[in-house]
Amino acid sequence: MNPEDIGQRYIYVIQLENENVYVGQTPYLAKRLDEHKRGKASKWSKIHKYEYLIDRYDAGICTSVQAEILENETVLKNMKERGWRKVRGGHLSAIEEKEILRVMIKYRDKYKIDKDYFDVLVNELDDDMKIELSRYIQ
Please tell me the predicted confidence (pLDDT) of residue 138: 55
What are the Cα distances from residue 64, in Å, to 2, 26, 102, 109? 8, 8, 23, 21
**pLDDT tens for the 138 residues of the chain, in order:** 566 689 999 999 999 999 999 999 999 999 999 999 999 999 999 999 999 999 999 999 999 899 999 999 999 999 999 999 999 999 999 999 889 988 888 888 887 777 787 777 778 877 877 777 776 665
The angle formed by the CA atoms of residues 63, 107 and 95, to the nearest 5 degrees, is 90
Please tell me the predicted confidence (pLDDT) of residue 104: 86
